[in-house]
Structure 1
């Protein structure tokens, strides 16, 4: 009977440790993804301000903005893909989001404040979606939801623990 209590205790500690480590890694990836999106907002505002007084933006400024968007969105996509693998947030597809963010006309963004503001609003919606998905996944669940989500992952552990216990009982009966 003592061995069962030990196995149950270790299983519970294993579950808590695994959940804590996974949550920390998911939060780290989420935060770094959001950092790249916020950096994209900040630097695109700066590029707009640099070209604000000009009737037509420099071709070089447009190319630099496209390069900036491509670089930051690629870094976001890399982290967001890792986030999706670890967390499987509902309705979160990093490839589609990255495609939307890259599919902009940088020349028009540099010319028109409204287009820049729409682009920033789109990024803000993505950030809000990531934050709410994270909150819903880790903090907005009932006990029954938690048990049903944990059950399949812990099933293998309990089968292994039960098998080891049965083996221990057989060996104990044979040799003691």
Structure 2
């Protein structure tokens, strides 16, 4: 795997290191040892699958607080998404800064999301499918969210929002 740190410390894009031959390629998409070597929390509590039928759908911005704060490894396995993270660590020099990256079934890229980062995405294609590898169990009492269109964050989504849940559209502004 090829790890590239984003402008938000502790968050990485993770590209596959393809071993190709006439059949196609093989690549490791997760290795606890490689993650631990660069200081990334390698625990896996859940692997979640998300499907979105409509282009322009926004999901997020979600996170969990202690004692159930979580890391995530996000990969798009069908279609394409614009994935966004927000640093919510109060003592971080990049507090409330965000980073976005395109994850597609064709580029095989993943995004590692550290604890106390808000996470959300917008589908760039219809029928987008996303896999989340999550370090903690979903804990409703620890769930929090940010408004996808919060003016403090000023996230520039690539498309007009076509669908968003009532829950995601009702998070408080900062």
Which of the five TM-score ranges fits, normalised by the shorter chain? under 0.3
TM-score by length of 1: 0.18
Higher strand content, 1 or 2: 2
TM-score by length of 2: 0.18
Larger radius of gyration: 1
Higher helix content, 1 or 2: 1
